[in-house]
Amino acid sequence: MDNEIKLLKNNDKKEWTDLEWMNEFYDFLRGECPENIHFGKGHGIKLSPNKAYSIIYYLQEHFPLIPDHIEQCSECKSLYDSNSSGYHADFNEKFYCDSCMPPFIDEKDERIMRKRFERKQKLND
């Protein structure tokens, strides 16, 4: 898959996937500064996983800088690429990486969708 992130400058000459770039940014927002970046004492950032992802989400939705297929797992808070892994459960609006996907989530989804369909059918009869 092609990377959507196109850097203006890549001093480290890294050939990373979108997910790897986003994980580095996510880690930075949570207080883990990359080796080649140095801030003065007291100038670093240390956000919670939810606040860090809120910034990523804002940049995904409002600027064409960050691809919108990078999601945060609702359970473990890690990032994953929804183009190649993970799952979004419509019935509870949660995102799951492959490691945290609940068992039988597809069956739950199917039952819920079936119930919605049946209710809609009854309303139309």
56: Cβ contacts below 8 Å, ≥ 6 apart: 22, 25, 26, 29, 66, 70, 72, 79
Report yes or no: 91 and 74 within 8 Å, Cβ to Cβ. no
Which of the four pLDDT bands, split at 50, 70 and 90, describes residue 11?
A: low
Give 24-68 pLDDT, tens digit per residue. Answer: 999 999 999 888 788 778 888 899 999 999 999 999 999 877 888
Give 66-117 pLDDT, tens digit per residue. Answer: 888 999 999 999 999 999 999 888 777 889 999 998 765 566 666 776 677 6
What is the domain partition of the chain in residue ranges? 18-124
Whole-number Å distance between alpha carbons of 90 and 107: 12
